[in-house]
A and B are shown apart, each in its own frame.
Chain A
Amino acid sequence: MSLKKLDFSILQQCMHCGMCLPSCPTYDTTKRERNSPRGRIALMRAVATDEIPLSQSFADEMSFCLGCLACQSACPAAVDYATLFETSRAEIEATGVSVSAPRRLLRFLTLDLLFTRPRFLRVVGKLLRFYQVSGAENLVRKILPKRLRELERQTPRMAAQFSNDLIDPVESGDGSSKKVALLTGCVQDLVFSQVNRDTADVLLANSCEVHTPSVQPCCGSIHSHNGEPGMARENASRLLDLLPPQDFDAIISNAGGCGSHLRHFSKLLPNEPRAALWDAKVRDVHEFLAEIEVRSPDVAPFEEEKRVTYHDSCHLAHGQKVTLEPRQVIDLIPGIERVDLSESDWCCGSAGVYSLTQPEQSQLLLERKLGHIRATGAEILLTANPGCVLQIQNEMPELKIMNPVSLLAQAYRNESKKL
């Protein structure tokens, strides 16, 4: 895939009106056009028409872009920025302008090795877990140099049990009327496996038969986002084989970043007849719950009333345009007061591996987000993407952060306790 081979009308669709500028977190920081969506599109167009070479400077710009897709929500002309952005990153990788040995090794270890082999990923997850609970972690932290120590600190805490330990391949309740597939994700599976359990519980409580294959390939979002469309295609094909879309009423994702990618398999695999049906069946769990008119729980999730606020993950709000549904789900739950978060759909700086590749800008966005969260006075932050949870929790360990679906699951659980 390259910018030159891309359908030129996708680039042309940008009429450079500038309506994207106020939505772009990097333009907001620098006020420079090249750091804005329309500026980046102008650079892509210049690469496509040979006005500029595909330079290191171009690569740096594409790395500086969060890929938060807030510009897509703001764009009056429906420019497909996601495709432009992923094509640019893929071309940068293919031409090797930003190649360095350590970068290549890191990409090989993560993209090639870890995120294409779910079983191996879990083994690594178990080892990490051992490292974190055995005390080795504390020892290592003492001896690491400062920069590595800061990076190490960002390593997420592995869960004691992964999704396959918590969820049977097929679960159903009384009178299940809908058959759904549950995608457990990668980070969600290793770090937030309880969110997957909660998702299954909520679906079961709403008359679904839930199919959760115990070993699932990565959805390929991380590959697509980081310029490796080949690996993304391979993962997509494996998912289609594992969960044929014709067998399910819906395919459920509970991670914003995955869902945004999962809906576009037909673009990734234009010659795959099942892809369009797959795309049509993918749902964010909150969207699905709103669609099937989720049952309102009778009791509150906590003994006391709690004030909560909701942070939109970029790829749920801008990538999937799901903004109302999570709020509707939250508002159904008794004993919960939801207050609005300012700039709730502004990126928190997590953006995949952005906190590693662009630590300064990431930190700036994180602090802005934390300021708004503190201003709400909320005791619980609700959000539906594991990346955001890790990013915010790292800096605000005292804050309780939950997926809305987990809050709902907790309320349902309290119902059965009361009986």
Chain B
Amino acid sequence: MIDALTALLGAENVLTAKEDLVPYSFDGTATFRELPVAVVFPRTTEEVARCVKICREHQTPIITRGSGTGLSGGTVPTPGAIVLCLVHMTKIVEIDPANLTLRAEPGAITADIDAAAAEHGLFYPPDPGSMKISTIGGNVAENSGGLRGLKYGVTRDYVMAVTVVLPDGEVATFGNACVKDVAGYSMKDVFIGSEGTLGIITEVLLKLLPRPEARRTMLATFSSMEAAAETVSAIIAARIIPCTLEFLDQMTIRCVEDYTKMGLPTDCAALLLMETDGHPAAVEDEANRMAAIARSHGAMEVMTAADEAESLKLASARRSAFASLARVRPTTILEDVTVPRSHLAEMVTFIAETAAKLELTVGTFGHMGDGNLHPTFLTDERDEEEMKRVHQALDLIVSKTLSLGGTITGEHGVGLAKKMWLRDQLGDASLNLMKKFKETIDPDCLLNPHKIFD
């Protein structure tokens, strides 16, 4: 098989030495590791299709990978698998300002896509935390979110078409540049968020928006998480849809202050970063109203950025949240349970109490506008006893999330990390239908096996 792949791609695009493989034995997720048997770098859809046919002949599983920044173990190899890495397919093929679309190869970097759109005064809104290095193929396969979910939605909302290499090596395109299209099942939606288990995405057609002309950033501090949550509810009740409503809990605020020394009040229980964008007059009006609402709902302090530089400074409190937490202990376990917005404060409190009860360190931050939380456990994977308590805490958090009508993952995917809870969320009927689907499209279970479910 290696010989056939080498004959197809050339020796420089097939790695088999152990020193070359070790760095592909993990992704951005803590604790999962497994060596692949080889790593291959195809450069065209045709090469991907031929790789799939070769692997199929040898019944070798394929793990599709971009930059390997996933947070659910989705690109961790399964035993005996090859990694098919698309980082050389980076072209932004075309931007069509008349139809507001952008066509790109799967290895194109997310931030580069938005930068290319910006050159035409256009905007690609999804902004996952790793956008400087994450690939668009990975974003589509994981249906990645970001900070702008409340107003702008997630990756799925911007995918108009995908070209996919199917498990039998055939190439199919689902969707097109039409805003309206009801011809048959919406198959593209099956592949979005399929985590590499149904097909290999080799091209995407994305929807773009006009770039907002103005943006205003504000930071508010609160003495309780409930006050911050009420502020968010009041803002939405006032018919304002901010592009960003991000929160940090007290533990996270303290870590951020330790790290950045930006002068945050460490006695406050919640910090809210709010951003509105759009027409300059609307932005001005909304910013003033949001600040007033925060004050009338018990904000201790509201800071409004005067210009772009100050905006960046305020936003850095949120952007450095994960970094500030990650420094504290050797192992950082980042979760992304999500609840309906109205239950967010309750969930944050539950997480803090659970951690205290089990003597664990946790910082929670996330997207208050869309109920997506990032409880981040700071631990040490070598301490088995403590890791046991971390898993205990995660089980409790998941049960609580599901009892509130939430989901085990808002934007990171199921992968390996969350598959033990999927049945609890979906129930037998849904999960069995998903499995039937997988068996129909990939009967030999060659594409990213044992991910999402077994």
Query: Which stretch from A33-41, A175-183, A196-204, A324-332 is at the chain B interface?
Result: A33-41
Question: 1/0 per residue B309-337: CB within 8 Å of A?
Answer: 00000000000101100110011100000
The answer for the CA separation of A32 and B22 in the assembled complex, in Å, is: 12
Q: Is A77's CB within 8 Å of the partner chain B? A: yes
Could you tell me if A43 and B23 are in contact, using CB atoms closer than 8 angstroms? Answer: yes
Chain A nearest CB: distance from B119 CB in Å?
16
Could you tell me if B17 and A57 are in contact, using CB atoms closer than 8 angstroms? Answer: yes
Known: A9-B380, A31-B88. A52 touches B19 (CB 8 A): yes
Given A15-B30, A46-B22, 11 additional A-B pairs, CB 8 A: A9-B330, A9-B380, A12-B330, A12-B380, A13-B330, A15-B326, A18-B27, A33-B24, A33-B68, A57-B17, A78-B327
Q: Which residues on A sit within 8 Å (CB–CB) of B133?
A: 18-19, 21-22
Q: Is A76's CB within 8 Å of the partner chain B? A: yes
Q: Is A295's CB within 8 Å of the partner chain B? A: no
The answer for the CA separation of A16 and B67 in the assembled complex, in Å, is: 11
Could you tell me if A17 and B15 are in contact, using CB atoms closer than 8 angstroms? Answer: no
Chain B nearest CB: distance from A360 CB in Å?
15
Could you tell me if B26 and A76 are in contact, using CB atoms closer than 8 angstroms? Answer: no
The answer for the CA separation of A31 and B30 in the assembled complex, in Å, is: 22
Q: Is B388's CB within 8 Å of the partner chain A? A: no
The size bracket of the interface on A is 20 to 34
Which chain B residue shows the least CB distance to A17?
Answer: B28
Chain B nearest CB: distance from A13 CB in Å?
6
Q: Is A111's CB within 8 Å of the partner chain B? A: no
Q: Which residues on A sit within 8 Å (CB–CB) of B25?
A: 42
Among B23, B27, B130, the residue within 8 A (CB) of A39 is B23
Q: Is A110's CB within 8 Å of the partner chain B? A: no
Chain A nearest CB: distance from B158 CB in Å?
22
Chain B nearest CB: distance from A220 CB in Å?
28
The answer for the CA separation of A8 and B20 in the assembled complex, in Å, is: 22
Q: Is A55's CB within 8 Å of the partner chain B? A: yes
Chain B nearest CB: distance from A48 CB in Å?
12
The answer for the CA separation of A76 and B41 in the assembled complex, in Å, is: 28
Chain B nearest CB: distance from A56 CB in Å?
10
Q: Is A58's CB within 8 Å of the partner chain B? A: yes
Could you tell me if B20 and A32 are in contact, using CB atoms closer than 8 angstroms? Answer: yes
Chain A nearest CB: distance from B106 CB in Å?
14
Could you tell me if A55 and B322 are in contact, using CB atoms closer than 8 angstroms? Answer: no
Question: 1/0 per residue B65-94: CB within 8 Å of A?
Answer: 001110000000000000000011000000
Among A16, A21, A76, the residue within 8 A (CB) of B322 is A76
Which residues in window 3-29 of A have CB below 8 A to B? 8-9, 12-13, 15-19, 21-22
Which residues in window 20-57 of B have CB below 8 A to A? 20, 22-28, 30, 41
Chain A nearest CB: distance from B308 CB in Å?
16
Q: Which residues on B sit within 8 Å (CB–CB) of A76?
A: 320, 322-323, 326
Q: Is B381's CB within 8 Å of the partner chain A? A: yes
Could you tell me if A15 and B28 are in contact, using CB atoms closer than 8 angstroms? Answer: yes
The answer for the CA separation of A33 and B17 in the assembled complex, in Å, is: 13
Q: Is B279's CB within 8 Å of the partner chain A? A: no
Among B69, B88, B327, B332, the residue within 8 A (CB) of A18 is B69
Q: Is B18's CB within 8 Å of the partner chain A? A: yes
Q: Which residues on A sit within 8 Å (CB–CB) of B19?
A: 34, 43, 52, 55, 57-58, 61
The answer for the CA separation of A38 and B331 in the assembled complex, in Å, is: 15
The answer for the CA separation of A55 and B382 in the assembled complex, in Å, is: 27
Residue of B23, B26, B109, B132 contacting most chain A CB atoms (<10 Å)? B23
Chain A nearest CB: distance from B381 CB in Å?
7
Q: Which residues on B sit within 8 Å (CB–CB) of A165?
A: none
- 3 tightest A-B CB contacts, nearest first: A76-B323, A39-B23, A33-B23
Pull 27 A–B residue pairs with CB atoms less than 8 Å apart, ordered by A: A12-B331, A12-B380, A15-B326, A15-B331, A16-B28, A16-B68, A17-B28, A17-B130, A18-B67, A18-B133, A19-B130, A19-B132, A19-B133, A31-B41, A31-B88, A32-B20, A42-B22, A43-B19, A43-B22, A51-B22, A52-B18, A55-B19, A57-B17, A58-B19, A76-B326, A77-B332, A78-B323
Known: A16-B28, A31-B87. A21 touches B17 (CB 8 A): no
Known: A18-B69, A22-B133, A31-B88. A77 touches B327 (CB 8 A): yes
Known: A17-B69, A18-B67, A78-B327. A42 touches B15 (CB 8 A): no
Q: Which residues on B sit within 8 Å (CB–CB) of A57?
A: 17, 19
The answer for the CA separation of A40 and B26 in the assembled complex, in Å, is: 13
Q: Which residues on A sit within 8 Å (CB–CB) of B132?
A: 19, 22
Which chain A residue shows the least CB distance to B87?
Answer: A31
Which residues in window 40-89 of A have CB below 8 A to B? 40, 42-43, 46, 51-52, 55, 57-58, 61, 76-78
Which residues in window 424-438 of B have CB below 8 A to A? none
Could you tell me if B20 and A34 are in contact, using CB atoms closer than 8 angstroms? Answer: yes
Which chain A residue shows the least CB distance to B324?
Answer: A76
The answer for the CA separation of A55 and B22 in the assembled complex, in Å, is: 14
